[in-house]
């Protein structure tokens, strides 16, 4: 088989699928790309057995059909270094791959038999729906930060997708913070279901999807597939029960704070310079119309304190947060102001944007640091 493609097109496809090539592959075939020529289409696939990604490469010319495995890393390095000109790959038996182009050299890549490559998992399910990539990425973007890295609780290392008629809820939490986005504009008509999708797959999708893509999501018992016209990602689902997060969302926190995002973030950034590098603790003192934020480094000394006017309605309150967690949370707010609904010093606080986007409900929870 033989085919010709543009360097830039190939490089884009490689970047889409390289994420599923693991550095230490458990079986040698997994450090390869699987190239399959089917008429005018070249389909490139990579997998680490958890996530499988395939991308369709637009070809300039093609001849014959068949498949071959090539070393992913070396192929990527080569394509990256070549100029953006038409390149030709020829595969002759047994799996000898040669790459040529006008004005460049000749490169022989040791190919392998595609029979060693795992077969594409079959998604046997009728549960599927469409969502615009822009909205999908927006939902993931607002939740990824809260995903846990603690492998002792595998269910928290993924994002929960809850389908409830035309509503989709996307939730992530590591126990310290929680983020939930729900949208009312999903064309899903199947039965209600909960699926936990691993962070890795979602991080790759976040990077690979273009805003104007239409994504078809298919959910089966153990796998999910995300397809667009140009690429497809299949991931294993995380097995287990997601904690009952609804029950930890406070229903009537009495203390309401409204802050101006830009000023508030700058204050936190400055004051947190003085927080302990272990706890990153910053403390807020809230009184009617006024807020103080302060931090002290017990180990190396130093203290920072700022006072500013805020809209605050509630009891006088002292509450401490991990500055890193607080900033991660506030970064998801895309309105000028943010709203806090706080309980007492040991309670989860709710953080929301001052106004919700159309058909969207976005809420975050942040747990404080216990004060002595």
The one among 23, 115, 187, 278 contacting other proteins by CB under 8 A: 278
Least distance CB 29 / other proteins (angstroms):
23
Give the residue with the Cβ less far from other proteins, 22 or 335: 22
**Residue 203 makes contact with other proteins by CB under 8 A:** no
Give me the 289-328 binding string for other proteins, x by CB under 8 A, dash otherwise.
---------x-----------------------x--x---
**Residue 24 makes contact with other proteins by CB under 8 A:** no
**Residue 64 makes contact with other proteins by CB under 8 A:** no
**Residue 151 makes contact with other proteins by CB under 8 A:** yes
The one among 135, 204, 363, 369 contacting other proteins by CB under 8 A: 369
**Residue 243 makes contact with other proteins by CB under 8 A:** yes
Q: How many residues sit close enough to other proteins to count as binding (CB under 8 A)? A: 28
Evaluate whether 227 touches 215 at the Cβ level (below 8 Å).
yes
The one among 233, 348, 350, 351 contacting other proteins by CB under 8 A: 348
Give the residue with the Cβ less far from other proteins, 276 or 292: 276
**Residue 241 makes contact with other proteins by CB under 8 A:** no
**Residue 343 makes contact with other proteins by CB under 8 A:** no
Give the residue with the Cβ less far from other proteins, 86 or 324: 324
The one among 142, 176, 180, 232 contacting other proteins by CB under 8 A: 176
**Residue 54 makes contact with other proteins by CB under 8 A:** no
**Residue 346 makes contact with other proteins by CB under 8 A:** yes
Angle between helices 7-17 and 72-81 (to 10 degrees): 140
Give the residue with the Cβ less far from other proteins, 16 or 176: 176
Give the residue with the Cβ less far from other proteins, 198 or 349: 349
Which chain residues interact with other proteins by CB under 8 A?
148-152, 173, 175-176, 178, 243, 245, 248, 276, 278-279, 281, 298, 322, 325, 346, 348, 365, 367-372
């Amino acid at each position: 088989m033989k085919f010709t493609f543009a360097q830039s097109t190939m490089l884009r496809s490689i970047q889409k699928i390289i994420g599923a090539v693991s550095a230490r592959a458990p079986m040698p075939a997994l450090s390869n790309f699987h190239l399959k020529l089917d008429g005018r289409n070249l389909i490139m696939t990579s997998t680490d057995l958890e996530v499988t990604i395939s991308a369709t490469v637009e070809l300039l010319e093609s001849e014959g059909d068949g498949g071959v495995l090539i070393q992913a890393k070396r192929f990527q390095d080569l394509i990256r270094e070549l100029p953006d000109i038409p390149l030709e790959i020829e595969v002759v038996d047994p799996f000898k791959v040669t790459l040529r182009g006008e004005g460049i050299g000749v490169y022989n890549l040791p190919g392998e038999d595609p029979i060693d490559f795992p077969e594409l998992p079959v998604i046997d399910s009728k549960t599927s729906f469409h969502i615009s990539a822009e909205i999908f990425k927006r939902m993931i973007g607002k939740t990824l930060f809260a995903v846990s890295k603690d492998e002792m609780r595998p269910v928290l290392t993924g994002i929960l997708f809850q389908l409830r008629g035309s509503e989709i809820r996307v939730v992530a939490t590591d126990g310290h913070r929680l983020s939930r986005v729900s949208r009312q504009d999903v064309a899903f008509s199947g039965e209600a279901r909960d699926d936990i999708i691993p962070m890795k797959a979602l991080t790759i999708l976040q990077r690979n999807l273009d805003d104007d893509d239409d994504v078809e999501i298919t959910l089966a018992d153990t796998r999910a597939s995300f397809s667009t016209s140009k690429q497809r990602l299949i991931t294993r689902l995380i097995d287990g029960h997601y904690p009952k997060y609804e029950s930890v969302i406070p229903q009537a926190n009495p203390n309401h704070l409204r802050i101006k995002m830009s000023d508030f973030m700058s204050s936190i950034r400055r004051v947190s310079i003085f927080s302990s590098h272990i706890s990153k603790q910053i403390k807020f003192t809230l009184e009617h119309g006024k807020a103080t934020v302060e931090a002290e480094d017990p180990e190396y000394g130093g203290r920072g304190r700022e006072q500013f006017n805020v809209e605050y309605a509630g009891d006088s309150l002292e509450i401490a947060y991990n500055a890193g967690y607080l900033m991660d949370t506030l970064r998801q707010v895309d309105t000028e102001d943010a709203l806090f609904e706080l309980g007492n010093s040991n309670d989860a606080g709710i953080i929301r944007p001052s106004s919700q986007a159309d058909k969207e409900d976005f809420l975050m929870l942040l747990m404080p640091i216990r004060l002595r």
